[in-house]
C-alpha cells in the first residue's frame, strides 16, 4: 500500500485528545495533525520523536496533515495509522499473496456478522467454507524484538474474538490476524498484564478453533507492505511459540 502523497518528516510536540498531535515541520512551522489511532500508543507518542506526516489538500478536511509513522532512533519504523492494516491486507488478499489465504479468490470487506460487529474480511472460494477474518494492528513493543497486543484495555477486541468463535460453531472458518506495524519485531504475544479479559477471550477463541496468525510489515516513508512470511506468536512474554494453523488454506 503506497501512501497517496509523499510523507514529510516532523518532530512530535504533543499528542492530545487521542486524535490530535501538535508537530513541528522541518521548516519550523508548527501544525496540528490528525492522529488516526484511538489506542494508548504506549511508547510512540513521546515529545521529541521523529515522525512522518502525510499532507493533503482536501478542502473537506480541517487538518491538512495526517500522522502516519514513527521513526525510531534505531532507524526502525512503526506505523501508527490503524486504518492502514486493512488497506494493506486488502491488497495482499486480493493479490492472493498470503499463502495461508491464497485458496480464497473472493474478498469482501466490512461484512456484518454479529449484532454489533462487522468482520474486517469475509473470504470465499469455490468448495471452501467461508472464512471470517478479523485484523488487529500491533504497535506495542516493551521488550526488544517482541510485539504485543493490545496496548490498552479493548472490550471491543474481546467481543470480536467471541464473535469469531460463534462463526466456528456455525460451521465456518474464522481467523484472527495480527499485523505488526513495526520493523523492529520478529515475534508477537498477547499483553496479558494490560488486558486480562482480552487474554482470556484470546485463549477461549483458540480453544474454540479460531485460527491465529501474525504477519510483519515492510515500512518506509513511501509504502507499507505485508510480509507474506508469518511471525511466531508466543503464549506469553516468556512462553514458547503457539501452534498456529496450517499455512496452506
Weakly modelled stretches of the chain, pLDDT under 50: 246-249
Task: Tell me the C-alpha distance between 141 and 164, whole Å.
Answer: 26
pLDDT at 64: 95
Ordered domains of the chain (ranges, CATH): 8-79 (2.40.50.580), 84-234 (3.40.1350.60)
pLDDT at 222: 95
pLDDT at 10: 98
pLDDT at 198: 97
pLDDT at 245: 61
Cell of 49: 520523536
Task: Tell me the C-alpha distance between 32 and 53, whole Å.
Answer: 10
pLDDT per residue as tens digits for the range 135-173:
999 999 999 999 999 999 999 999 999 999 999 999 999
Note the pTM of the prediction, 2 decimals. 0.92
Residue 100 DSSP one-character state: G
Strands ordered across the beta sheet of 106-114: 106-114, 117-124, 131-138, 173-180, 211-219, 224-230
Closest CA to 139 of 88, 93, 82, 192: 82
Amino acid at each position: 500500500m503506497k501512501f497517496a502523497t509523499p510523507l514529510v518528516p516532523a518532530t512530535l510536540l504533543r499528542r492530545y485528545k487521542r486524535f490530535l498531535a501538535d508537530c513541528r515541520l522541518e521548516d519550523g512551522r508548527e501544525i496540528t495533525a490528525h492522529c488516526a489511532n484511538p489506542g494508548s500508543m504506549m511508547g510512540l507518542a513521546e515529545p521529541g520523536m521523529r515522525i512522518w506526516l502525510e499532507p493533503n489538500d482536501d478542502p473537506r478536511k480541517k487538518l491538512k496533515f495526517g500522522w502516519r509513522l514513527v521513526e525510531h532512533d534505531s532507524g526502525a519504523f512503526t506505523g501508527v495509522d490503524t486504518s492502514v492494516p486493512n488497506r494493506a491486507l486488502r491488497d495482499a488478499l486480493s493479490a492472493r499473496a498470503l499463502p495461508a489465504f491464497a485458496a480464497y479468490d473472493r474478498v469482501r470487506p466490512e461484512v456484518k456478522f454479529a449484532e454489533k460487529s462487522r468482520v474486517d474480511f469475509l473470504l470465499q472460494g469455490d468448495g471452501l467454507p467461508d472464512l471470517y477474518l478479523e485484523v488487529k494492528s500491533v504497535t506495542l513493543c516493551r521488550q526488544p524484538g517482541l510485539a504485543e497486543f493490545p496496548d490498552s484495555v479493548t472490550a471491543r477486541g474481546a467481543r470480536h474474538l467471541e464473535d469469531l468463535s460463534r462463526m466456528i460453531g456455525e460451521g465456518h472458518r474464522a481467523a484472527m490476524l495480527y499485523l505488526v506495524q513495526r520493523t523492529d519485531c520478529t515475534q508477537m504475544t498477547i499483553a496479558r498484564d494490560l488486558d486480562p479479559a482480552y487474554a482470556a477471550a484470546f485463549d477461549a477463541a483458540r480453544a474454540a478453533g479460531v485460527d491465529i496468525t501474525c504477519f510483519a510489515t515492510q515500512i518506509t516513508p513511501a509504502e507499507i507492505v505485508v510480509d507474506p512470511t508469518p511471525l511466531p506468536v508466543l503464549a506469553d512474554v516468556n512462553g514458547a511459540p503457539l501452534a498456529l494453523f496450517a499455512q496452506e488454506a
